[in-house]
Chains A and B, each alone.
Chain A
């Protein structure tokens, strides 16, 4: 369970807060989409939940424990993080990247056969076992994202926290990846992700949080929360513009 209680957060003392009095609770097994315009605090919220930010004491709890009282190792066993698509400097092989997900479970010496099995199982789960020996930096964006998801799965956490997992991918890869994410959710994994596309939140189902100006505007089942008026209000669109955009399908 992840719990946020009345969280105010600013990156510097004199700057206006990015998150302004946010409270929410995410149970295990849930799929949670976080939506909102650029700069509304989506990524900051994710980073706060991962313990990357110096949040005030008593505002973020993981499994009932204050996040800053938990060791990184213990945190890594509960929460796995899938960053936005990135390059990296060193051209590790795909298997080496996925094995990094096992670091918290055995920080010294090499990896055990169990670690290797878990890494391969994770690759199989997202159906990219054939890429195991390939250099990571030579993969396409969609493949890289699958590798990072496999690494998070190898980490064996209850929660998968993803920062805009499909941004930067082409149309086909977006849906391929969303299907994989939906399958993982159906297998009982808790998933928290940020997205720019309301229709993707509807596709994934579960619950949606609408975030604007660092405050929660709506919180509920995706199909109920994501309505035309709510989307208009969230992104400052006129009903005509939204209608036009929705008509432009094929």
Chain B
């Protein structure tokens, strides 16, 4: 494990969190936040401005920052895990149809029920259905389960995208369609403290489990027979790890909608920087993904007066990053 790389990323992330705290519509400095929040916690009588600051910080800014960190980590770590599981550095959470399934679920929630909590629940169930369909296809062709699962993911993605299009077509263009489209673009503007309260513990548990399984993931990334010869019940371990990665990104969809690319590019770039050993790579992608999404989210909520969809910015930034990492990787190959 490369402790230096982890430490550098940890310091960078901590510094970035402090730097972005004062950024936003409501002008406030770090020291003011510190004074108000510590005063609030110690039960001191607060002035009106201090009460406003506490409200902005605890109800709006902190949840949003935490959501950015969690979603970034979840997408990146599950991306890294999928890449090792399928022995293919070019797959991402999208590959199993998780994001497509989740977006379809969201469409059901928005169009059929017009209810925000139901939308979240359906998107989560949709993510699970997306994986379920991929796994179903892999069972149809047991001879090459890994390949069949990838093809199953493709089928599952396009199936759920088609379903989503039906809902877009049926949606009320004045009210529902914008909301649906906005969700599909990916945004953190809806993440709230209540959402975090029930989503965050599960996500953290999943991320911790994946990170602690790094050695098993390493062995599984060498192929079926070798993993078995190294003492791993490969089928069961693979299922458990893929399942956990899927759970973690389905939960991220509840917080942020569909954010593509992060799960592909962040692990890919960090693998170039810290190497493929998952004992270092997984904590590094967790921190790197969190850092990346925090920076991009701060960008979208501060540059324009109107909120800009996060998913668009991540795609715009990730595309050249990905091209560069591919080129760099190709050049380094023996």
Query: What residues of chain A have their CB less than 8 Å away from a CB belonging to chain B?
Result: 47, 50-52, 71-73, 75-77, 79-81, 83, 86, 88-93, 96, 100-101, 103-111, 137-138, 155
Q: Choose, from B12-20, B56-64, B271-279, the stretch at the interface.
A: B271-279
Smallest CB separation, B276 vs chain A (Å): 4
Task: Report B217-246 residues with CB < 8 Å from chain A CB.
Answer: 218-219, 221-223, 225-226, 228-234
Task: Report B71-89 residues with CB < 8 Å from chain A CB.
Answer: 84, 87-89
Question: By the criterion CB–CB under 8 Å, are B277 and A72 in contact?
Answer: no
Question: By the criterion CB–CB under 8 Å, are B231 and A109 in contact?
Answer: no
Smallest CB separation, A150 vs chain B (Å): 13
Closest B residue by C-beta to A163: B225
Chain A residues closer than 8 Å to B87, beta-carbon distance:
89-90
Smallest CB separation, B129 vs chain A (Å): 29
Question: By the criterion CB–CB under 8 Å, are B275 and A104 in contact?
Answer: no
Chain B residues closer than 8 Å to A51, beta-carbon distance:
228
Closest B residue by C-beta to A115: B215
Query: What residues of chain B have their CB less than 8 Å away from a CB belonging to chain A?
Result: 1, 84, 87-89, 212-213, 215-216, 218-219, 221-223, 225-226, 228-234, 271, 275-277, 279, 333-334
Chain B residues closer than 8 Å to A47, beta-carbon distance:
225
18 A–B contacts, CB within 8 A, in A order: A50-B225, A52-B229, A72-B231, A76-B229, A76-B230, A80-B229, A83-B225, A83-B229, A88-B223, A89-B221, A92-B276, A96-B218, A100-B219, A101-B230, A108-B213, A110-B1, A111-B215, A138-B334
Question: By the criterion CB–CB under 8 Å, are A108 and B275 in contact?
Answer: no
Q: A76-B230, A100-B222, A103-B216 are in contact. List 4 more A-B contacts (CB 8 A).
A: A52-B225, A90-B87, A96-B275, A100-B215
A89-B87, A100-B219 as given contacts; A155 in contact with B277, CB under 8 Å: no
**A47 to B215, alpha carbons, bound, how many Å?**
24
Smallest CB separation, B131 vs chain A (Å): 22
Question: By the criterion CB–CB under 8 Å, are B216 and A107 in contact?
Answer: yes
Question: By the criterion CB–CB under 8 Å, are A89 and B1 in contact?
Answer: no
**A80 to B226, alpha carbons, bound, how many Å?**
10
Which A-B residue pairs are the 3 nearest by beta carbons? Answer: A104-B231, A76-B231, A81-B229
Question: By the criterion CB–CB under 8 Å, are B334 and A100 in contact?
Answer: no
**A93 to B275, alpha carbons, bound, how many Å?**
8
Smallest CB separation, B215 vs chain A (Å): 5
A72-B233, A110-B279 as given contacts; A89 in contact with B89, CB under 8 Å: yes
Chain B residues closer than 8 Å to A92, beta-carbon distance:
218, 275-277
Partner of A88, one of B222, B233, B277: B222
**A194 to B149, alpha carbons, bound, how many Å?**
33
Chain A residues closer than 8 Å to B212, beta-carbon distance:
108-109
Question: By the criterion CB–CB under 8 Å, are A72 and B228 in contact?
Answer: yes
**A119 to B88, alpha carbons, bound, how many Å?**
27
Question: By the criterion CB–CB under 8 Å, are A137 and B334 in contact?
Answer: yes
A50-B229, A80-B229 as given contacts; A103 in contact with B215, CB under 8 Å: yes
**A107 to B209, alpha carbons, bound, how many Å?**
12
**A89 to B89, alpha carbons, bound, how many Å?**
8
